[in-house]
Amino acid sequence: SESRIHCAALGGKIMSADEAAALIPSGANVGMSGFTGSGYPKAIPAALARRIEVENARGNRFRIGVWTGASTAPELDGALAKVDGIEMRLPYQSDPVCRERINAGEMEYIDIHLSHVAQFVWFGFLGKLDVAVVEVAGVLPDGRLIPSSSVGNNKTWLDQADKVILEVNAWQSPKLEGMHDIYYGTELPPYRKPIPLVATADRIGEPYLRCDPDKVIAVVETNSPDRNSAFAAPDESSRRIAGHILEFLQHEVRKGRLPPNLLPLQSGVGNIANAVMAGLNEGPFENLSAYTEVLQDGMLDMIRSGKLAHASATAFSLSNEALAELNANLDFYRERIVLRPQEISNHPEVIRRLGVIAMNGMIEADIYGNVNSTHIMGSKIMNGIGGSGDFARNAYLSIFMTPSQAKDGALSCIVPMVSHVDHTEHDVQVLVTEQGLADLRGLSPRQRAKVVIDNCAHPDFRPALRDYFARALEQAPGRHTPHLLGEVFDWHLRALRGERM
Ligand code: 0RQ
């Protein structure tokens, strides 16, 4: 097959994944590409894991820091976590092996807003980035890089790392060229300028990643697919959640608070988010746009049907079938999709300016509207905050959604007080479960509690929530946000004992 590496200076650095992995020292902070299962390096993490296993067997502790865009795949997070090769992981993961290590206290993990990562590295807040390992779709004669199926933090990794290792993946479509928009205008304070992006389709940068060829120490050729995320057909609960959201958006249009084609949509990961997109695809709205971080199957369907005129994201997260559809029609999709660095896709300034409608999943919400997106029973991490905070805080409308119950009805996802807070009551405007939708705008805490219990809680848990709230109103020392501190976590404590909440 024809080589994707058109730069003579880099052609001489082609080697095997094992040879490249041997160039990464223990203790290094490694910035890897990858975002929600796309565009991650396919060969070097596994080679590194093999090397780590050998070193560990010899009694030499070998661990690295792994920084990424967001979640990756079993071949990266899973392989390195399995051999206990990760000292520090940031800013987001969703791998079962990784999660187990973190929750066992065997791996450090920092859960960071995705828009913060690049600037924290530039500010020097996270220490030195030693090596970048970045998957690309090709190399131009002058050394510039054609980005892969995600952009994530790659620009920052390539700029900040002392050494760069490239994986050139021939499996990625060459037609990705031209889809990306890499913005190089982010100066550091106090020299920052406004980001000149005023519509989702705007291109403000260039289609390639810059890379100093002198810093490249290895180039590895691969030919491997991205991890696929299979989506379940929307279940009854997801369809009802989607239905409530659609009805609400139509209501907002009638009230004149949203234009007929809405405002740019952001949608999180998972089956509920996908169901909402499926609902919108059948719904009455036309000429929609998206300013989001992950582009799932549902949005691709909407682009194909013409409902969604344009989408801006930082990565794809597609099923096998959707990926095949994308790659077969890239000329069509390239006109309608732009992939940006995550510091731009998730930038508070841009999200606020565009007036994004943010829709994200949650683990639990409390009666006053605080949201927990990350922790099971207050201490066990699930995935991470990801981009949900970037969007929720700055959105025109911030919507959080979940089924009203978890674990076959043993747990209520509406509780007196969340066991961990990711999004405070100040950043949450709408809560949705299959039971209904709570519009919290303009409501005081006491008013919110009533609406959240009546509209969102499962009927089985409503009496206990009403009882708690009534007694808190009577007995709490303050009547603004009434709580009974002595019993507020009894719900979670019951669950931890294996009882029904
Ligand atoms: O656990 O798989 O062990 O049964 O939590 O729950 O219902 O499968 O929900 O896949 O939509 O994920 C918040 C995790 C929801 C996700 C979260 C248990 C439940 C199950 C998952 P099991 P579901 P989803 C942009 C936006 C943060 C990042 C984000 C997330 C598991 O949406 O990671 O928003 N969000 N990014 O059983 C105990 C409860 C529970 C519970 C659910 N109340 N108590 N366990 N579970 N509710 C994308 C990026 O940023 C990259």
Q: Is the CB of 399 under 6 A from ligand 1?
A: no
Residue owning tokens 């709580």: 483
Q: Is the pLDDT of residue 271 over 90?
A: no
Q: What is the pLDDT of residue 441?
A: 98
Q: Is the pLDDT of residue 2 over 80?
A: no
Catalytic position from the list 75, 221, 293, 343? 293
Q: Is the CB of 390 under 6 A from ligand 1?
A: no
- Looking only at the bridges linking them, the beta strands covering 380-381 and 411-412 are unpaired
Secondary structure of residue 225 in the 3-state scheme: coil
Q: Which ligand 1 atom lies nearest to the CA of residue 273?
A: 11
474-483 burial: b if 16+ Cβ within 10 Å, else e = eeeeeeebbb
Phi, psi of 349 (to 5 degrees): -60, -45
Annotation-wise, does 363 bind a ligand?
A: yes
- The enclosing H or E element of 353 equals helix 348-354
Ligand 1 pocket test: which of 277, 383, 418, 422 has the largest number of ligand atoms within 8 Å of its C-beta?
Answer: 383
Q: Indicate if ipTM > 0.90.
A: yes
Q: What is the pLDDT of residue 228?
A: 78
pLDDT by residue (tens digit) across 353-406? 999 999 999 999 999 999 999 999 999 999 999 999 999 999 999 999 999 999
pLDDT average, residue stretch 112-122: 98
Q: What is the pLDDT of residue 132?
A: 98
Q: Is the CB of 102 under 6 A from ligand 1?
A: no
Please choose, from the candidates 9, 22, 33, the residue with its C-alpha nearest in 3D space to the C-alpha of residue 132: 33
Q: Cα–chain-centroid distance for residue 122?
A: 21
Share of the chain above pLDDT 90, in %: 96
Q: Which residue is closest in CA terms to ligand 1's atom 34?
A: 388
Tokens in use for 75?
């071949």
Please choose, from the candidates 431, 413, 422, 434, the residue with its C-alpha nearest in 3D space to the C-alpha of residue 495: 413
Ligand 1 pocket test: which of 269, 293, 294, 356 has the largest number of ligand atoms within 8 Å of its C-beta?
Answer: 269
- What's 226-243 look like in SS3? CCCCCCCCCCHHHHHHHH
Q: What is the pLDDT of residue 270?
A: 81
Residue 183 and residue 247 in contact, taking contact as beta carbons nearer than 8 Å = no
* More confident of the two residues 274 and 22: 22
Annotation-wise, does 387 bind a ligand?
A: yes
Q: What is the pLDDT of residue 392?
A: 98
Q: How confident is the model at residue 112 (pLDDT cuts 50, 70, 90)?
A: very high
Residue owning tokens 């919400």: 365
Instruction: List the single range of 135-149, 259-273, 430-444 with lowest mean pLDDT.
Output: 259-273
Between the two ends of the chain, the Cα-to-Cα distance in Å is 59
| CA gyration radius, the chain | 23
Q: How confident is the model at residue 146 (pLDDT cuts 50, 70, 90)?
A: very high
Instruction: List the single range of 6-15, 77-86, 267-276, 483-492 with lowest mean pLDDT.
Output: 267-276
Q: What is the pLDDT of residue 234?
A: 85
Residue 217 and residue 23 in contact, taking contact as beta carbons nearer than 8 Å = yes
d(CA 91, CA 384): 8
Q: Is the CB of 389 under 6 A from ligand 1?
A: no
Q: What is the pLDDT of residue 202?
A: 98
User: How confident is the prediction for the chain on average, in pLDDT?
Assistant: 97
Number of H helices, E strands in the chain: 18, 25
Q: Is the CB of 412 under 6 A from ligand 1?
A: no
Please choose, from the candidates 439, 363, 360, 367, the residue with its C-alpha nearest in 3D space to the C-alpha of residue 394: 360
* More confident of the two residues 1 and 295: 295
Share of the chain above pLDDT 70, in %: 100
Q: Is the CB of 413 under 6 A from ligand 1?
A: yes
Q: How confident is the model at residue 231 (pLDDT cuts 50, 70, 90)?
A: confident
What is the 127 CA–ligand 1 centroid distance (Å)?
31
User: Residue 321 catalytic?
Assistant: no
Residue 366 and residue 415 in contact, taking contact as beta carbons nearer than 8 Å = yes
pLDDT average, residue stretch 107-117: 98
Q: Is the pLDDT of residue 97 over 90?
A: yes
What is the 86 CA–ligand 1 centroid distance (Å)?
24
Q: Is the pLDDT of residue 253 over 80?
A: yes
C-alpha distances in Å from residue 326, one per residue of 139, 149, 266, 304, 336: 22, 11, 20, 10, 12
DSSP 8-state class, residue 100? H
pLDDT by residue (tens digit) across 324-336? 999 999 999 999 9
Secondary structure of residue 62 in the 3-state scheme: coil
What is the 286 CA–ligand 1 centroid distance (Å)?
30
Q: Is the CB of 34 under 6 A from ligand 1?
A: no
pLDDT average, residue stretch 166-172: 97
Residue 358 and residue 391 in contact, taking contact as beta carbons nearer than 8 Å = yes
Annotation-wise, does 128 bind a ligand?
A: no
d(CA 172, CA 164): 20
Q: What is the pLDDT of residue 233?
A: 82
The residues facing 109 across adjacent strands are 89
